Structure 1
Amino acid sequence: MPPLEDAAISPDDADDAATQASETIASLRAVSIVTSQPGVRALQMADVAEVERLAESGALTQLRAFHSFDYSVVLHFHGEGLCYYVALYHDGSLWRVLTAVGLDAAETAFRHLQEQATRLSEGETRRAQLLAQNDNVARMIRESEAQAERLRNDLERDAVETQRVTRKQHQVRKELAQLEAQRVAGQARLNVSLRQVQHLSATNNDGIRHVQSRRDENIKK
């Protein structure tokens, strides 16, 4: 069985992750876009309610989208207003929106929010990994316990069969001894009987030879 990866997270690691998440959320506004026109802001925060209204009315065209667990970043184009909206969603709800008048600025904002969403979802990524690892460990535990149970059953079965075989072998040896004793006794009786038969046969033949001798003598006379 291969060694299992240590998937434990210490409290310090959890605190660091929470701190990083807080810093990530705070940096969502830290997007600086330089334009060729002094005094013109290429990117600014948009009215969330207004963007929701435009989306519901079908006035926005989705150009690009990024999804990472519960976080999504979508680049919208508003044809009527000739502007772009870069929206950050959390769990399907619109969270923050940046608006830009140029595509380059909008794409820069999209990449920025994509990085932020990726960082925010790092915990979800780690959780998915840990869940998969824990499921794998649990599966391996079940398989190991099942294998151990099968081995225990095999050992118990082997012990039972060994006892049965031992008893059977003992019984067979006992029967063999009895049969051998019967064979020896039977052979002895057979030998006695054969000797008796030989003796009686010899006696009978002697009587026949005596009768034959008297008959031959009578013929000679």
Structure 2
Amino acid sequence: MLDNAPSFLVRPKANNPIRVAAPDIHAEDELKDEDVPAAPSSTRVMPLRPAVVPTQPSGKQSLQAAHRAEVEWLVQQGSLATFRTFQSFAYSARLLFHPRDLIYYAVLYHENAVWRVLRAGDLDAAEPAFRHFVEQAMRLADAEMRRAHLAAQNEQFSRLIAESEAQIERVRVDLQQGGAQDQEVALKQQEVRKELAQLEGKRIAAQAQLNKLQRQLHQLNATVNESVPNLPTTR
């Protein structure tokens, strides 16, 4: 029955084994235990996630860098309208609009010269660029503000110092003049007192002499009157 069975049911005979010649393995080709890499203990398989590709805005709405010469030429042609402007010392920022091409320009100036330019086709993209330039201008002008404030303070201090020195000089002159006048008055008072003392001495001496002379005169008059006879009076 097995001789007439289909071929896929016929079992091969055991006395005709199929031999496969083994390749020659040399001793130097044998792998050593230390050369075989150890299998990792555990491998964490991360699930695949679809990559998120950011959507690129249209070329007219995206913010792009522009050439300074482009804005300078449009300004010379009078083709730009000023929407917003900011200035602080030597730095300024402007938001310009080109009506023909519907393009906005955010421009940063230094000493009225175009420094940096960003262009956009949408006001929502242009206004943040303008505010960025405003913040940059304010940050750059902060040192100018401090310098102007310090210069004004130093000028005020210099003026106050000059006024104080002038006042001190006037007071010193007044004190010197007052001191000189005090000395002059003191000397004059001393001379007056000395003169008064002299005059007082002369007065006392003159008074004494006058009293003496008056006494002498009185005595003389009394002597003269003693020699006058007593005559009767006629009625």
TM-score (norm 1): 0.75
Q: Partners in 2 of 1:51 and 1:143 — Cα distance?
A: 52
Task: Report what 2:204 is aligned to.
Answer: 184
Whether 1:97 aligns to 2:117 is yes
Change (3 A) 1:122 1:55: same
Out of 62, 65, 71, which is 1:42 matched to? 62
Q: Partners in 2 of 1:130 and 1:86 — Cα distance?
A: 32
Task: Report what 1:107 is aligned to.
Answer: 127
Q: Name the larger-Rg structure.
A: 2
Q: Partners in 1 of 2:57 and 2:177 — Cα distance?
A: 89
Q: Partners in 2 of 1:184 and 1:47 — Cα distance?
A: 114
* Bigger relative CO (Cα 8 Å, ≥ 6 apart): 1
Out of 115, 123, 132, which is 2:143 matched to? 123
Alpha-carbon deviation of 1:64? 1.1
Task: Report what 1:16 is aligned to.
Answer: none
Task: Report what 1:135 is aligned to.
Answer: 155
TM-score (norm 2): 0.71
- Over residues 17-52 of structure 1, what are the superposed CA-to-partner deviations in whole Å (9 max), with x where a residue is unaligned? xxxxxxxxxxxxxxxxxxxx7432521111211111
Structure 2: tracts of 5 or more residues without a match = 1-54
Q: Partners in 2 of 1:101 and 1:148 — Cα distance?
A: 68
Alpha-carbon deviation of 1:206? 2.1
Question: Pairwise mapping of residues 18-167 of structure 1 onto structure 2 (< 5 A)?
Answer: 38-40=56-58, 41-167=61-187
Q: Partners in 2 of 1:171 and 1:47 — Cα distance?
A: 95
Alpha-carbon deviation of 1:78? 0.6
Cα RMSD for the two superposed structures:
1.7
Task: Report what 1:14 is aligned to.
Answer: none
Amino acid at match of 1:53: W
Q: Partners in 2 of 1:89 and 1:191 — Cα distance?
A: 110
Q: Partners in 2 of 1:113 and 1:144 — Cα distance?
A: 46
Question: Pairwise mapping of residues 204-219 of structure 1 onto structure 2 (< 5 A)?
Answer: 204-208=224-228, 210=229, 212-213=230-231
Secondary structure of the 2:78 match is coil
Amino acid at match of 1:55: V
Q: Partners in 2 of 1:42 and 1:68 — Cα distance?
A: 28
Alpha-carbon deviation of 1:187? 0.4
- Over residues 140-189 of structure 1, what are the superposed CA-to-partner deviations in whole Å (9 max), with x where a residue is unaligned? 22122112212221221122112101110110011001110111011011
Amino acid at match of 1:140: L
Q: Partners in 1 of 2:99 and 2:214 — Cα distance?
A: 128
Amino acid at match of 1:39: P
Q: Partners in 2 of 1:128 and 1:203 — Cα distance?
A: 109
Q: Partners in 2 of 1:39 and 1:192 — Cα distance?
A: 136
Tell me the number of residue pairs that the alignment of Structure 1 and Structure 2 aligns. 178
Structure 1: tracts of 5 or more residues without a match = 1-36
Task: Report what 1:11 is aligned to.
Answer: none
- Between Structure 1 and Structure 2, the one with more helix by share is 1
Runs of 4+ in 1 over 4 A off after TM superposition: none
- Over residues 85-114 of structure 1, what are the superposed CA-to-partner deviations in whole Å (9 max), with x where a residue is unaligned? 111110111011111111122111111110
Amino acid at match of 2:189: Q
Task: Report what 1:193 is aligned to.
Answer: 213
Q: Partners in 1 of 2:62 and 2:131 — Cα distance?
A: 15
Amino acid at match of 2:112: G
